[in-house]
Amino acid sequence: MDTNKLKARDLITTAIFTVVFAIITFVCVMAMSMIVIGYPLLASASGLLCGIVWLYMRLKAPKRFTILLQSVICALLFFVIGAGWFVALGILVGGLFAEMITSLGQYKNFRLTVIGYAVYGFCFHWGSFLVVLISRDYYIEYAIANGTNRQLIDTLLPMMNWQFLLLGSVLCVVFSVVGILIGKALLKKHFVKAGVM
C-alpha cells in the first residue's frame, strides 16, 4: 500500500493550511512594506512566521506532491491579488525544489524539511526581487499599472540593488531555519507522535 498517496483528507488539510500560510505571508508583506527599508526583506520576515505553518503541514500531510500543490495555490493567490507573475514564478520554482528535496526523506526527515523550506524562501525572495534588477523599467511600468504610487517606487528603487538581494537571500535562509526550529519546539508532541527525528 502506497502511504505517500494523496487522500481527500490530505487535499483538504493542504488547502486549508495553504490559505493560512498565504494569509500570514500577505500580512508580513503588507507590514514590512510600510517600512521603506523593510521592503526588500519581505520574504525574510514571512519565512520566520510561516515556518510554523509549513512544518505543521508537513506533519499533518507528509505526502507526495503536497508541497507542490501548496505552492501552486499560493502562486495563484498572490498572482490574483496583483503580486506579479515573477513573484508567482518564484513561489512555484521554490515549491518544486522544496518538493524534490523533502521527498528524498519520504517527507519525514526533519533536516531535509528545513533545507526544502529554506530553498522555498530563497526562491520566493529572488522571484520578488530579481525582476527589479534585470528589468527596472518593466517593473516600474508594472507597479504603476497595478496602482503603486510613483513616489513610493522612487523611494524604494535605490534600495533594490544586488547588495540587498544578497542580504535578503542570507536572511531568508536564516529566518526560514529559525522559523522551522520554533515550529519544532511548539509542535514537539506532534513530532513524538509521528516518530519524526
Q: For residue 49, what is its C-alpha cell?
A: 512566521
Task: Please give the model's pTM, rounded to 2 decimal places.
Answer: 0.84
Tell me, what DSSP letter sits at residue 37? G
Q: What is the pLDDT of residues 109-120, one digit of tens each?
A: 999 999 999 999
Q: What pLDDT does 1 receive?
A: 47
- Mean pLDDT: which of 1-10, 40-49, 107-116 is highest? 107-116
More confident position, 130 or 38? 130
Indicate whether 196 pLDDT > 70: no
- What tens digit of pLDDT does each residue of 67-85 get? 999 999 999 998 888 788 8
**Neighbour count for residue 17 (Cβ, 10 Å):** 18
> H helices then E strands: how many in the chain?
9, 0
42-67 burial code (b ≥16 CB/10 A, e <16): bbbbbbbbbbbbbbbbbbbbbbbbbb
Question: Greater confidence, 186 or 34?
Answer: 186
Q: Is residue 3 over pLDDT 70?
A: no
C-alpha cell at 52: 510554523
The band of 92, judged by pLDDT with boundaries at 50, 70 and 90, is very high
DSSP string covering 41-56: GHHHHHHHHHHHHHHH
Give whole-number Cα distances, 85 to 22, 41, 77, 127, 136, in Å. Answer: 16, 19, 11, 9, 15
Query: For the residues 76-99, what does the mean pLDDT come to?
Result: 90
pLDDT of 2 = 52
As a whole number, the mean pLDDT across the chain is: 84
pLDDT score at 192: 55
- Looking at residue 161, what DSSP letter applies? S
**What number is the average pLDDT over the span 153-180?**
85
Average of per-residue pLDDT across 35-60: 82
pLDDT in tens, 183-193: 888 877 655 55
Whether the per-residue pLDDT at 35 is higher than 80: the answer is no
